[in-house]
Structure 1
Amino acid sequence: MKLKTVHTLVLAALALGASASARDLATIKKSGTLVVATEPTYPPFTYTQGKNIVGFEAELAELLAKQLGVKVQWKTSSFDTLLIGLGQGRYDMVIASHGITPERQKAVDFANPHYCSGGVVLSKTGGPKTVADLKGKKVAVQLGTTYATRARSLPGLGGIQTYPNNTDALQALMAGRTEAFITDRFVALEARKKTGGKVQVGQLIFQEKIGIALQKGNKTLVTGINEALKKVQSDGSYKKLSEKYFGEDIRCK
């Protein structure tokens, strides 16, 4: 899914200890509630359906909480503030398709990856499909993502336009304001489905591992989430959930 990033200064502040105390696993179990934050604008991973937050990652969070013997209390925020809120102790964990990067690992801890993905070139049918095809082309990216960072490193682009979320970026592509959209491969597949094949999924630019973010040093919760993830991946419930949304098992091989 999306390999997103936040500003380096924010990560540096978190890494230097600009955070509130995290609730450890024992405290969470005693409370009966796991406070989970996400940005629910990223179908099929997390999105809203009426008043509910649904999607692959949403249901996975519920499965993990069940393994811990607690219920999920959802919090929502824009992607670029999620890790800030985590550092401030406003919630226990973030599940929002964060790519696990060395930069982020200085500021937060990650559970073991719960799926693997990668960035691709998405365009209208007949449009650019490879990095080479992007030369001189206007490219859309979501603000605050590593797709934006990667796009800036690509040679010869005709311009990079940032959008607050994937929906706006896709709309820009469909309206012809950009000629390609660099995004997560699952987002691209979902866009192809929703547009009735009016867009095409091109070259995989890079691969990524996606993980749940937890406050730095919260070892008991990291261990608890890892054990819960291992359990749901071994008892068949992860596979069933993954196939429900993607038709395949998307765990890292």
Structure 2
Amino acid sequence: MKNTKMKKFLVVVLSAALVAGLAAGCGSKEDGKEEDKGSSAKTAKVIDVDLTNEEYAFGIDKDQPELVEQVNAFIKEVKEDGTLDEICDKYFGGGEPAAVESAKLDESKDQLVVATNAAFEPFEYTKGDKYVGIDMELAALLAEKLGKELVIQNMDFDAVCLSVGQHKCDIAIAGLTVNDERKQYVTFSDTYYQASQRLIVPSDDDTFDDLKDADAVAAKLGELKKEDKIGVQQGTTAQSYIEGDEAFGFEGLPATCQPYKSGSLAVQDMLNGNIKYVIIDAAPATAITEAINAMQ
């Protein structure tokens, strides 16, 4: 009788253990599914269609006509001798960018004070306490050419031209597209770079995959509604493209424009599901998506 009771007891214990084990196994499997689901981070892609055609130039203090002449001579020189191409190749061809240091502002010294927005890779961005980018390397060469000490003032993009117009800085070097509004504050140099706007979408969005030209992409964007949000870097051409701008010839889009301090913040917010798309200049679009996708 005692053995029978013991056997029954062991059967009950083993059965309970088996049930517990199966339950734990099922729980682990389910947890694994949840973990896999959570680990599938979203990525972004750039639609390979130029929405606009633009040109970058430097914005110079209107009260410094001599500087305008010097800058135009400098731009002509770096374009003709291949220096500009060499700098661009560092950022588009896998070369090694050169970090640029900024001196402290000192009115007693002969300085070239440059206004920029260092959130526009590959044209201007920061690494530690140094500046990097196509524009920053050009700024360093320009200061050297003029025999001046370089001072870089980093600020919001929509304050760049204003600071030059208020004579707080000598020149704006910040991936500036030439337009009439900015001409109120600065004298533009000769152009040095051809640019365009491009659309960034989540990688799993196939809406634009088969569209091959700007008109087709614009038509599809025209189907959006006001509640749809498109992110931009504040004050850039993309904002004018969405909101409409007669000077640029942009009719605007029905979607709502959502400005950010940087394109990176806009793309991250898109991947977080808070906005639908992002529009930004082509080169930064590629740099931003590659950097963010690498972190996912």
Instruction: Give the TM interval when normalised to the shorter protein.
Output: 0.5 to 0.7
For residues 122-149 of structure 1, the C-alpha deviation after alignment (integer angstroms, 9 at most, x for no partner) is: 1112424322332224311222222112
State the secondary structure of the residue aligned to 1:150.
Answer: helix
The 8 Å contact of residues 138 and 160 in structure 1, kept in 2 or not, is answered as: yes
Root-mean-square deviation over aligned CA pairs: 3.2
Query: How far off is 1:31 after superposition?
Result: 4.8
Q: Which of residues 196, 219, 223 is equivalent to 1:118?
A: 196
State the secondary structure of the residue aligned to 1:62.
Answer: helix
Query: How far off is 1:37 after superposition?
Result: 1.4
State the secondary structure of the residue aligned to 1:90.
Answer: coil
Aligned to 1:148: 239
How many residues are paired up?
Answer: 182
The runs of at least 4 consecutive aligned structure 1 residues that moved more than 6 Å come to 1-4
Aligned to 1:249: none
Aligned to 1:164: 261
Query: How far off is 1:2 after superposition?
Result: 11
Aligned to 2:116: 38
Aligned to 2:276: 179
Specify whether residues 67 and 140 from structure 1 end up closer, same or farther in structure 2 by C-alpha distance, changes over 3 A only: same
Q: Which runs of 5+ in 1 are unaligned?
A: 5-18, 199-253
Query: How far off is 1:100 after superposition?
Result: 0.5
User: Is the strand fraction higher in 1 or 2?
Assistant: 1
Query: 1: CA distance between counterparts of 2:268 and 2:53?
Result: 18
Q: TM-score when scaled to structure 2?
A: 0.54
Specify whether residues 171 and 2 from structure 1 end up closer, same or farther in structure 2 by C-alpha distance, changes over 3 A only: farther
Query: 2: CA distance between counterparts of 1:88 and 1:172?
Result: 34
The answer to which structure, 1 or 2, has the higher relative contact order (CA under 8 A, 6+ apart) is 1
State the secondary structure of the residue aligned to 1:36.
Answer: strand
Query: 1: CA distance between counterparts of 2:169 and 2:119?
Result: 19
User: Is the helix fraction higher in 1 or 2?
Assistant: 2
Aligned to 1:13: none
The 8 Å contact of residues 139 and 157 in structure 1, kept in 2 or not, is answered as: no
Query: 2: CA distance between counterparts of 1:89 and 1:196?
Result: 40
* Residue identity opposite 1:161 in structure 2: Q
Q: TM-score when scaled to structure 1?
A: 0.62
Query: 1: CA distance between counterparts of 2:288 and 2:262?
Result: 13
